[in-house]
Amino acid sequence: MLYIYKLKKENNQSKMSLSKFATSINCIDGRIQLLISNWIKQKYSVDYVDVITHPGSDKVMAEKNIDRIAEIKSKVVISINAHNSKLVVVSGHHDCAANLSTKDIHVIQIRKSINIVKSWRLQVSVVGLWINDQWEIEQVQE
């Protein structure tokens, strides 16, 4: 049996173009996807969050993996250009299979990631998040 699910379409195409977007760079871990997206939507009053995932993305960026950072940057640029995103959020989380570091190390990596995104000079705000062992979001200050 085949099930077809359709998202409710906007009646007015111009309404879609007025939607506000943000961009999230985070781990592939499914436990954090909705948590982060919902937090961003609520905190920053955006309609949609473009999600760019990579296992242990905070570690990848902090360790300056040039090829992977270039991939991430190219996706962020698409989000900004196509959806006029004005916010980029970078995050790390407890119990990350690709980055088994302590919270303190993750926070350092998130701060480095924030600085890397800022170095791209994309005219966006950049925010860092840590998802703790209680699956709560803590904002990381620079």
CATH of domain 19-140: 3.40.1050.10
Per-residue pLDDT reduced to its tens digit, 77-117: 999 999 999 999 999 999 999 999 999 999 999 999 999 99
What is the C-alpha to C-alpha distance for residues 29 and 91, in angstroms, rounded to an integer?
A: 12
Neighbours of 139 (CB within 10 A): 12
B/e letters for 98-126, b = 16+ CB within 10 Å, e = fewer, are ebebeeeebbbbbbbbbebbeeeebebeb
Per-residue pLDDT reduced to its tens digit, 26-76: 999 999 999 999 999 999 999 999 999 999 999 999 998 899 999 999 999
Domain assignments of the chain as residue spans, ordered by start: 19-140
Phi and psi dihedrals of 42, rounded to 5? Answer: -70, -50
| Model-wide pTM > 0.75 | yes
> Which residues partner with 80 through β-bridges?
none
What is the C-alpha to C-alpha distance for residues 59 and 123, in angstroms, rounded to an integer?
A: 24
Length of the chain: 142
Cα torsion 113, 114, 115, 121 to 10°: value is 120
